[in-house]
Amino acid sequence: MNKIRLGFFSFTEITDPREHRSYNEWHQLDHMPEQYPLDGVAYGQRWVSTPACRAARAVSEPPLDSIHYVTLYLMTEPVERTLREFMQLGRDLHAVGRFHLHRRAQLSGPFPLCDVAVAPSVLISADAVPYRPNLGVYVEVDELPDGDDAAGEAFIRGVHLPALCAQPGVAGAWSFADERRRVTVTWLEAPPLDMNDRLAPIVARRRESSGGRTIFAGPLETITPWQWAWFDSD
């Protein structure tokens, strides 16, 4: 059984274009490492929507249209205590001046893990996909219809995730959902912009089959420490 219970997402906008470098330095070298001593934080990674990735988005609606980064923390039991300590740590770091002020989370919170899948060519389990090195991800965010969405969940599990994983360059895909939204993350072992056109028809098919509304769909690149120059010319 997969030990992960939640994915805590943050879809983040940097509100001052001059602050990208300081934000990345803070998050990658200070903020994210401080999360791992918490009992229930199993793993975390953050990806960037570079200017080229932004231009390649299939869907980009408010409020997520303005985001530059996506962060995902994977959380295990004890879930409730982990979330309390996770939020308290953020407040404690803010109180001592260790929090970046030029950022805005356009969507943030815990999403229960629903389904996992792995590419047939990858020699690891579906449960291990996020821990495998990647070059980026393709992220989809859907606002769910009111009421039971059993048909939509069945399509994600039985059709969409397997179709994503059948594509060369895909390592695997996980789906998370709360009562209002679904987030699907596809991990890539090929450059995200190279994968964009390959995944677009699959994402379009899922959108046509969904009773909800897609508000974000697009590629993001893996962040390499100290290589934070994507927005320097802005």
Model pLDDT, residue 211: 78
53-81 tens-digit pLDDT? 999 999 999 999 999 999 999 999 999 99
Alpha-carbon distance of 187 to 118, in angstroms, equals 9
pLDDT tier for residue 139 given thresholds of 50, 70 and 90: very high
| Residue 5: burial class (beta carbons within 10 Å; 0-12, 13-18, 19+) | middle
How does DSSP assign 33-90, residue by residue?
GGGTTSTTEEEEEEEE--HHHHHH-SEE-TTGGG--EEEEEEE-SSHHHHHHHHHHHH
Alpha-carbon distance of 12 to 33, in angstroms, equals 18
pLDDT tier for residue 151 given thresholds of 50, 70 and 90: confident
Task: Report the mean per-residue pLDDT for the chain.
Answer: 95
Model pLDDT, residue 12: 98
The residues with which 138 forms a beta bridge, in sequence order, are 186, 219
174-195 tens-digit pLDDT? 999 999 999 999 999 999 999 9
pLDDT tier for residue 46 given thresholds of 50, 70 and 90: very high
Q: What percent of the chain has pLDDT over 90?
A: 90
Lowest mean pLDDT among 10-14, 78-82, 143-147, 204-208: 143-147
Q: Output DSSP code: residue 20.
A: H
Model pLDDT, residue 209: 81
**Coil, strand or helix: which one is 143?**
strand
Domain spanning 6-222, CATH class: alpha beta
Kindly state the tokens that stand for 190.
Answer: 């090929």
Q: Which of 176, 124, 144 is nearest to 4 (CA)?
A: 176
Alpha-carbon distance of 46 to 30, in angstroms, equals 13
Q: What is the 3-state secondary structure (H, E, C) of 83-119?
A: HHHHHHHHHHHHHCCCCCCCEEEEEEEEEEEEEEEEC
Mean per-residue pLDDT, 192-204: 95
Q: How many helices (H) and strands (E) does the chain have?
A: 6, 9
Model pLDDT, residue 212: 86
Please check the confidence at residue 234 and state whether its pLDDT lies above 60: no
The pTM for the full model equals: 0.96
Residues 71 and 48: beta-carbon distance below 8 Å: no
List the chain domain ranges: 6-222
Model pLDDT, residue 150: 81
pLDDT tier for residue 6 given thresholds of 50, 70 and 90: very high
99-110 tens-digit pLDDT? 999 999 999 999
Count Cβ neighbours within 10 Å for each residue of 31-62 and write b for 16 or more, e otherwise.
Answer: bbeebeebebbbebbbbbbbeebbebbbbbee
**pLDDT, greater one: 233 or 154:** 154
Please check the confidence at residue 227 and state whether its pLDDT lies above 70: yes
